[in-house]
Amino acid sequence: MTTKKKQNILITGASSGIGEALARHYAITEKAANLFISGRDPKRLESVQKACERYNVKVYAKILDVTDKEATKNWIQECEDIAPLNIVYANAGVATLQEIPENIYNTFNTNVFGVLNTIIPAMEIYKNRKDKNKTLVIMSSIAGYHGLPSCPSYSASKACVKAYGEALRSDLKPYNIQVNVVCPGFVKSRITDKNTCPMPFFMSAENAAKIIADRVENNVGLIAFPWPMRLATWLMSILPNCLSDFIYAKLPHKV
């Protein structure tokens, strides 16, 4: 049995939630040679770094706000210079909570422009490399399947990056760049810790990370789970507005 070559993996938003769980997963399974992780909270990021370094992996941690275009671009190039990147996770994201102007702008700045600030520099680096071991992973959400009245800005921002990633998958194929879009349901994180609405099929970040990493390895284009939520949100997305409006009006809302 052949052992797959270890990867050099970059993950934004790695100080908590799915990002942290992905970093730990790649460290524990020893599938990473080098881990490049970023986040905005120094203490949490340092904790993740130390936890991952217990395994056979080199971890480089960076305090970073992905809404800073130049800083993100420079960091990604620094990581590439240390070790050629194989998987780049554009994972950093925020929840809107109250739909007030400041929060709405922050949601789009992080969930859309933060993704672009990560993906575009990595994509340009990949295009200039001739190897085939190049993957971009965009973190969307089940909420991105249809505009949700309980979280308009969040669902819209996730719908945007979902569509962008799906389009990139074919667009970048001639460059041997693999693109995967991830649409998780409710996963334990600092975002869901603040939720006041029902969260069906709630799962741990560790379980979600394993699903994501395994399906990225198998090059599943759209990684959406759990399947009952994927089916339900897909059905809502194809219903006439009069029916979807009626159903949403009957669902519990945030308090």
Right CATH for 7-250 from 3.40.50.720, 3.40.50.1360, 2.60.120.380, 3.90.1150.10: 3.40.50.720
Length of the chain: 255
Whole-structure pTM value: 0.89
Domain ranges of the chain: 7-250
**Per-residue pLDDT tens digits for 155-206:** 999 999 999 999 999 999 999 999 999 999 878 766 655 665 556 666 899 9
Estimate the share of the chain in helix, then strand, then coil, as percent rounded to the nearest 5: 50, 15, 35
- The residues near 42 (Cβ < 8 Å, ≥ 6 apart) are 63
**Per-residue pLDDT tens digits for 84-142:** 999 999 999 998 888 999 999 999 999 999 999 999 999 999 999 999 999 999 999 99
Catalytic site includes residue 154: yes
Q: Which of 26, 126, 154, 164 is catalytic?
A: 154
